[in-house]
Structure 1
Amino acid sequence: MSISSAIKSIQDIMRKDAGVDGDAQRLGQMSWLLFLKVFDAQEEELELELDDYREPIPEQFLWRNWAADNEGMTGDELLEFVNDKLFPELKNLTAPIDKNPRGYVVTQAFSDAFNYMKNGTLLRQVINKLNEIDFTDSKERHLFGDLYEQILKDLQSAGNAGEFYTPRAITKFIVAVTDPKLGESIMDPACGTGGFLACAFDHVKANYVKSGDDHQILQKQIHGVEKKQLPHLLCTTNMMLHGIEVPVQVKHGNTLNKPLSSWDDQVDVIITNPPFGGTEEDGIEKNFPSDMQTRETADLFLQLIIEVLNTKGRAAVVLPDGTLFGEGV
């Protein structure tokens, strides 16, 4: 079965489940399942490559050990395992970023994730459909990237995901103009599902990576922060699909929730489409100079970008009309 057919079948199955309400929840449900499957596919590769390999999470929670067998757990047994064992364990996993970075990635990904499905038999059917996709196959990964984007487009057309999806044509244009190079720090402070970061990764890989050492450098130069759980989880999965083995640089948090004066990092390239048209929670504006305080999100991000950008750095930002020339701050 093709990836597009598998995903469509998964969406149809989820529509039968009383616990999944609407496209956003279907995407959220699919996202943590996809994450675990992609994560385990990478673990199998690392297990073959590394002599000192150790599982970053308890072995029983690796996809291969609870989900890969199509005749495995189902019904109430599967629901109990997911709700009472898998989620609590992965949410509360002790995984220091310096000692177990891949475990840390899992904990961050599951920090606010949720199993919406209430029917264990339907959940097994969804898992079995995912088992038809081989994420160790490079062609499958490439096709999934296209489909992944289509899912987000569908949600955007439904009015649910516009805040964290930027059309590919825009991301490609911005990345081409800024031309990030190997070794330069690349940041999206409101990275959503990782469209800019993935495009930048592909750009550097295609134009500047010449060796395995170069590839390792590239993996460490991509940085992103996303406030909301769902796009953060999608971004983490997106980075893994693009070849970043340990996407610890993709943080789950609010970039603006830090005093502007405390930013020591200087970034070479910033590419972003920050949320605009909304306001931040009370108190966030106090992280900025008194004469520049506002709760308008886009204005705060613009100040942040100016502050953290390297003197000779480049930035390309999608902003609404009037941001640069409107009255006041």
Structure 2
Amino acid sequence: MLTGEVRNKVDKIWTDIWAGGITNPLTVIEQLTYLMFIRSLDEKELERESFEAISGEQADKIFPQDEDGQSMRWSKFKTKDPRIIFDIVGTKVFPFIKAMNGQEASAFSRYMQDAMFLIPTPQVLQKIITGLDELYEHDIQNLDMQGDLYEYMLGKLATSGQNGQFRTPKHIRDMMVRLMAPTPEDKICDPACGTAGFLVSSAEYVRERYEAEMTSEQWDHFAGDMFTGLDTDRTMLRLSAMNLMLHSITNPHINYVDSVSKQNLISAEYDVILANPPFTGTVDAESIHDNLKAVTNTKKTELLFVALFLRMLRKGGRCACIVPDGVLFGTTNAHKSLRKEIVENHQLQAVISLPSGVFKPYAGVSTAILIFTKTGAGGTDKVWFYDMKTDGYSLDDKRSPIAANDIPDILARFHNLENEAGRLPTEQSFLIDKSAIEANDYDLSINRYKEVVYEKVEYDPPAVIMARLDELNVKISAKMEELRGLLGE
């Protein structure tokens, strides 16, 4: 975890960039990401040179070996005059990383072609380089802390209006990953990956749970094929690729794909899908893949994405996704057909209702988590409903930490559903038979099944209440007389 001191240093770098005229948080993070990548290339080069010195074997180099090429290395230019640094980074290093290919082509460098160097002045650039260097040399001791550093920077998107759509709160992502419990053998995908938060949380879970027992083949799988993220925003793809690199995932499948379009042909590919797809907007009807329209004939992205998850999962594959409440109870044919598809042809396991403040300060929309398994042959028997009231943070715009937190209870109960059989719909969680869901037109909103117990209040008879009022009036009159006597003296 990052200390308050480290956070303050990051905030100082951020303030320096803002003071230089870059006020869009997304642009700030982009520019910092480029510089972090430039520094990481020099770190790799130093490791290769160290390997050569120890082993005597020749290692491939990242930078050209002439004077011009060596001048582009972070360790070579960082102490120079600010104007020289600005010139080197702007005219040499940046074009170099944009053109990287061959063995050095990472998921990040693939999306550098349309990147722009926007640091406004030599002085601002020098402050950023000095600040980052101090962080890495004195505060960031390992990969986990690098990941935490980047996560903290990405967290600033949550306070930036529309940019907040790219981020699901980390504790919610972590909960969803623990509900899925991925293994080192799984292939995991987020078809609307944003900054790759779900993939990062999955990677952290796998390392935490299985690190000591993973084979070399599993580590190779972890570094590459295990994680796939799709998005239509190249800026997001750059940020997500960097985020994954900082979490030891050196070659993830981060691809520019319009997931619900005919461009995306992926089918029966993944063991786990974790996602918070776009809630609003529609797409061009002509571009939507026909097999999605066969499940839910609509242009609404929130419905199309759920149909897409079913298609992209292998049989036996599992999904945990966030959906707006309208998906649960919408009355259009498209809404009903999607819910019927999940309940009748696959296995719907859980609907977890989230409190509406989870996505504040930038959205107050009511949402839920759907958890289902692709079977192609039904399997829904009972569906578990949970009415989540607290997530460890206040539900106002400040989202301050509080003691009340339903997440541990959700995890414990979901992984022991056999113990839920005796619970009633009046409680916070309960099981509902598939037949009841079918009878309710496949409505999946918790309020359809939750029963509210009203406490009976018994009042005294009117005569008793009147007598009590008379008694109070007598007491008031006596006190008034006592007060008049005091005033008369």
TM bracket, shorter-chain basis: 0.7 to 0.9
CA distance in 1 between counterparts of 2:145 and 2:39 reads 16
Relative distance call for 1:131 and 1:62 in structure 2 (3 A) is farther
| Contact in 2 for aligned 1:35/1:233 (Cα 8 Å) | no
Give 1:319 deviation, angstroms: 0.9
Q: Distance in 2 between the 1:122 and 1:318 partners?
A: 40
Match of 2:304, SS?
helix
2:85 matched to 1:83?
A: no
Counterpart of 1:279 in 2: which secondary structure?
A: coil
Query: What amino acid sits opposite 1:249 in the alignment?
Result: H
Q: Is the 8 A contact 1:205 1:215 kept in 2?
A: no
| Structure-2 separation of matches of 1:72 and 1:328 | 66
The structure-2 alpha-carbon separation of the partners of 1:212 and 1:132, relative to structure 1 and needing over 3 Å to count, comes to: farther
Distance in structure 2 (CA, Å) of the matches to 1:197 and 1:324: 26
**Which of the pair is proportionally richer in strand?**
2
1:296-311 correspondence to structure 2 within 5 Å: 296-311=300-315
- Amino acid of the structure 1 residue aligned with 2:253: Q
Relative to structure 1, the CA distance from residue 282 to residue 6 in structure 2 (aligned partners, 3 Å threshold; closer, same or farther) is farther
Stretch moving more, 59-68 or 274-283: 59-68
Q: Distance in 1 between matches of 2:138 and 2:242?
A: 14
* CA distance, structure 1, for counterparts of residue 43 and residue 77 of structure 2: 15
Q: Following the alignment from structure 2 to structure 1, what is the Cα–Cα distance between the partners of residues 127 and 210?
A: 43
Q: Indicate the SS of the match to 1:6.
A: helix
Moved more, 218-227 or 137-146: 137-146
Q: Percent of counterpart pairs with the same letter?
A: 25
2:61 counterpart of 1:55: yes
Contact 1:152 1:161 in 2 (8 A): no
Deviation at 1:104, TM superposition (A): 3.9
Q: Structure 1 residue 226 and structure 2 residue 234: aligned?
A: no
Label 1:40 to 1:268 Cα distance change in 2 as closer, same or farther (>3 A). farther
Q: Report the Cα distance in structure 1 between the residues aligned to 2:141 and 2:200, rounded to whole angstroms.
A: 17
Q: How does 1:165-244 map to 2 (within 5 A)?
A: 165-209=167-211, 210-211=213-214, 213=216, 214-220=218-224, 221-244=226-249
CA positional deviation for 1:6: 2.6
Please say if residues 268 and 315 of structure 2, whose CA atoms lie closer than 8 Å, have aligned partners that are also in contact.
no
Q: Partner of 1:10 in structure 2?
A: 13
Distance 1:282 1:73 in 2: 56
| Structure 2 portions without partners, runs of 5+ | 335-489
SS of the residue corresponding to residue 82 of structure 1 reads helix
* Alpha-carbon distance in structure 2 between the residues aligned to 1:154 and 1:66: 26
Residue 267 of structure 1 is matched in structure 2 by 270
Gap runs ≥5 in structure 1: none
| Aligned equivalents of 2:109, 2:260: Cα separation in 1 | 22
C-alpha separation in 1, matches of 2:193 and 2:26: 18
Deviation at 1:317, TM superposition (A): 0.5
2:214 & 2:293 partners in 1: Cα distance?
A: 48
What is residue 148 of structure 1 aligned with on the other side?
150
Counterpart Cα distance in 2 of 1:114 and 1:264: 35
Write the distance in 2 (CA, Å) between the matches of 1:57 and 1:323. 52
Distance 1:241 1:135 in 2: 16
Aligned amino acid, residue 247 of structure 2: H
Q: CA offsets, 1:143-172, max 9 Å, x none? A: 443343333333312314221111112111
Residue 312 of structure 1 aligns to a residue whose secondary structure is strand
Contact 2:192 2:277 in 1 (8 A): yes
Q: SS at 2:107's partner residue?
A: helix
Normalised by the length of structure 2, the TM-score is 0.58
Higher RCO (CA < 8 A, seq sep 6+): 1
Q: Is the 8 A contact 2:78 2:85 kept in 1?
A: no
CA–CA separation in structure 2 for the residues paired with 1:62 and 1:6: 29
CA contact (8 A) 2:90 2:117 kept: yes
More displaced stretch, 51-60 vs 155-164: 51-60
Aligned-residue CA RMSD (Å) = 3.1
The structure with the largest alpha-carbon Rg is 2
Q: CA deviation at 1:215?
A: 2.2
